Chains A and B, each alone.
Chain A
């Protein structure tokens, strides 16, 4: 091909034309770009926020970044006393973006006169910040850096149902408030320094100041609450007033002058309980002789909250420790949204009911006892207040029940729940209030098995597994209440004690190991005499089997000696016969042996429930 042929070929022409068009297009856009380009977060964004007010860019002091986000632009009005800011709030949870927010503050009134969202952080528009939420921010004068800390989320808060978006947006607003208060009003935020100290505790763990705490009682004033980027890890900061210390013999000695110690405690939630992961003494207090680091290492870190509270009765060595221990002992912290008294007040018909909290935290096979209290209600008279969390009996969430029991009649006189009973689309299967009242109000809980007689089917609105799981979980919660109130947490409920006795005469209860709960089944009781050990196992439903089952398996010499059902959750007609159960007799009581010994009786779901129970019992026993 000659040069002439090449330059006149269609291919060359095509490429040349495309190139020419591309060059012209790019040139045109390059020319227009400076004229039309709009910088995000630029001064143009301030136009029209407040009528008739224009802004000029201002210097940002020290590239302001706080734990909540970063201030990217500051502006000052060219007429009138207005301040404009653009801030980016940190992401929280699953949000795809930070929120970038522009806000204009009236320098005379300190009120927000305009808020413009430059970048939404929500995962979908249904979670966007609402006009009502913005109105709440605009209703508060920014006179200190913590002004937005008290903004709550959820019902009545700035954005119900969209907590992560709400927090992400709030972060941006907090940055603006912090900057304005610090540099325009000269009001410093002490929490910023505390935040930095918390962030320095552990690499990769950063804390964000959360909702403010309006809590002050028993010499403890909670100042701040911090969430972290690690699930379940949080910190509380409080001033603790200490009036006494201990001498070297462990004897309490009153201080001449009460001391106030500021303490930050980092908690890690582990299921229903929480542990202390770290602690810092923030105020200077020089009286103690034990270093904080040693105190943290020896006394606090890793201990369960209840164990810490137990330390108050033991030999104490210094004032700082006592301050921290008192802080930890206050259960209201970990169950933080409100004090326990507030929970019980929810149930009291007359507000002058009083409650005195006592230690009763315990874990049972069905759940956890959080608090017990006694008090006097002007309607019910002397009552016991009990708060328990029942483990989920299936796919539904666990349930926290607050119950009042009349100590005169031993009957449940009032109850309520903290949080919703169901979630994940199964809300319609929650029992109604009327159904629950009909089933549980007035039940005499003087014996631990009092709730056994309540059919979980009575309190179900839908005949679906989701409904029955919810009602079973609720029933478990009431069962724990009965066990607590009757003073016998170890009593085998569900009428199984007779069956256990028939399998092992004179057997006594053996303490459960911590690993009693498996995926499909839980060992809820172990009883043993000289020859026989009986495992009582709670096993979740499989497939269409209606309810959970509870069975007892007796083991002698490493082999199954007997299997009996205490409560069969099978649907009608499919209950396992004793003859079927006996097929397991003689099988080695090991997981390996039982894994292949599933008896298939034609009622697969029911036999699988039993099989799961035995398999887990063997796993538990040999662990």
Chain B
């Protein structure tokens, strides 16, 4: 398996947020501002990498019957660690993310990668899978966070771009705005992805045809 494939899967082809539509709760809840989105993304990435590594290491030790509870214990441990770290060093982010931080433990992306990838692949690949899946999640959340923060508050990462009293669409700061943003991002991402995918298929087909002719 190539590293490039893992990277492409995590960030684009199987982007957990925009392609697989996993982890929707935090996606909708914390993307009101870019900073929180980025923070949540990093937290999930940390847990993904660590849990994938440990689960991959133990994949031949953990009996199949109890793999899910074992995975959950491992994931919960790393979630607790990341929660403690954020509470200690970034208390504002801790307050902002609230319960969603603890709820990482039931994030489908993490359990999904543990079950679908880490438990079947070597440590190196599993770590990379965790890294790129986390990056895909972080990128999607942060982009959405930037989009919503700019429109709803006229700022980006807390830096004011313009006076929100002059122009802002506060709707994008609401729950309904979160759903609309999410829908738009999925649509745009898939349209772009399909267009690129179609183009590369055409190129491949043309190359194969040329080779055949030759």
Contact = CB atoms under 8 A, between A and B. Distances in A.
The 5 A-B pairs at the shortest CB distance, nearest first, are namely: A36-B84, A25-B77, A14-B66, A14-B63, A36-B88
A17 B65 CA distance: 11
Nearest to A15: B66
B66 A17 contact: yes
Interface stretch (A27-35, A206-214, A235-243, A334-342): A27-35
15 contacts: A10-B65, A14-B65, A17-B58, A17-B70, A18-B66, A18-B69, A21-B74, A25-B73, A25-B74, A25-B76, A29-B80, A36-B87, A36-B88, A37-B88, A38-B87
Contact of B91 (A28, A29, A32, A38): A38
A303 interface: no
A10 B63 CA distance: 7
Contacts of B88: 36-38
Contacts of A21: 58, 62, 70, 73-74
A14 B63 CA distance: 6
A21 B66 CA distance: 11
Contacts of A15: 66
Contact of B85 (A10, A14, A18, A36): A36
B33 to A, nearest CB: 14
B61 interface: yes
Contact of A17 (B62, B76, B77): B62
A28 B77 contact: yes
A10 B80 CA distance: 30
A57 interface: no
A252 interface: no
A414 to B, nearest CB: 37
B77 to A, nearest CB: 4
Interface in A367-394: none
Given A10-B65, A17-B61, A29 B77 contact: yes
B142 to A, nearest CB: 23
A22 interface: yes
B84 A22 contact: no
Majority DSSP secondary structure for residues of A touching B = helix
A18 B70 contact: yes
Given A17-B61, A21-B73, A38-B91, A29 B66 contact: no
A33 B70 contact: no
Contacts of B70: 17-18, 21
B29 to A, nearest CB: 12
A583 interface: no
A32 B66 contact: no
Interface of B: 58, 61-63, 65-66, 69-70, 73-74, 76-77, 80-81, 84-85, 87-88, 91
Contacts of A315: none
Given A18-B73, A38-B91, A33 B84 contact: yes
B51 to A, nearest CB: 11
A28 B84 CA distance: 13
Contacts of B65: 10-11, 14
A29 B76 CA distance: 11
B144 to A, nearest CB: 20
Interface in A4-46: 10-11, 13-15, 17-18, 21-22, 25, 28-29, 32-33, 36-38
Contact of B63 (A17, A22, A28, A29): A17
A32 B74 CA distance: 15
A33 to B, nearest CB: 7
B82 to A, nearest CB: 10
Interface string A399-430: 00000000000000000000000000000000
A11 B69 CA distance: 14
A17 B58 CA distance: 10
Contacts of B61: 17
Contacts of A37: 84, 88
Contacts of A11: 65
Nearest to B63: A14
A10 to B, nearest CB: 6
Nearest to A28: B77
A587 B103 CA distance: 69
Contact of A29 (B58, B74, B81): B81
A520 B94 CA distance: 53
Given A21-B74, A25-B74, A32 B62 contact: no
A17 B70 CA distance: 8
A36 B85 CA distance: 6
B87 to A, nearest CB: 5
Contacts of A25: 73-74, 76-77
A451 to B, nearest CB: 45
Contacts of A17: 58, 61-63, 66, 70
B73 A32 contact: no
Contacts of A29: 77, 80-81
Nearest to A33: B84
A10 B77 CA distance: 25
Contacts of B84: 32-33, 36-38
A11 B64 CA distance: 11
Contacts of B73: 18, 21-22, 25
Contacts of B62: 17, 21
Contacts of B87: 36, 38
Nearest to A120: B95
A240 to B, nearest CB: 50
Interface in A93-121: none
A23 to B, nearest CB: 10
Nearest to B84: A36
A97 B73 CA distance: 31
